[in-house]
Amino acid sequence: MIYVTRKAHFSAAHRLYNPTFSDERNDATFDKCNNPMGHGHNYTIECTVAGNPDPLTGYVIDLKKLASLMDELIIDKVDHKFFYITPYFRQHRKCFATSLVFEHLVRQFHSML
């Protein structure tokens, strides 16, 4: 079995706040992450595909296809976006910084391989 990993980068913004808190409490609790205009971060995502090489090409997966899928299903949806304007993140505000936020994208990605 061979493993092929492709790394990609994106930038996105978020805001941490609790609507039940006062402005002062939100500022004290979340500091610069409470900025109404958002607070940005740079992210790295790695996708690893495992398999046996195709006997004709020697590829586990065509890297151009892998790059295209990563762009279409993940990067294009979040790069230079405010997380909460994307449909998935609107529903999962509290856990966006974990790998769970990409769960639905990863399922889509796997189904296309």
Half-sphere exposure of 81 (CA within 13 A, CB side): 15
Least confident interval from 2-16, 46-60, 90-104: 90-104
Calpha distance 17→29 (Å, rounded): 8
Topology adopted by domain 2-112? Tetrahydropterin Synthase; Chain A (3.30.479)
pTM of the full predicted structure?
Answer: 0.70
Q: Is the pLDDT of residue 23 over 90?
A: yes
Lowest mean pLDDT among 5-14, 16-25, 57-66, 103-112: 103-112
| Domain spans of the chain, in order of start | 2-112
Q: Tell me how far apart the terminal alpha carbons of the chain are, to the nearest angstrom.
A: 16
Task: Tell me the torsion sign for CA atoms 80, 106, 7, 97.
Answer: positive
100 pLDDT higher than 60: no
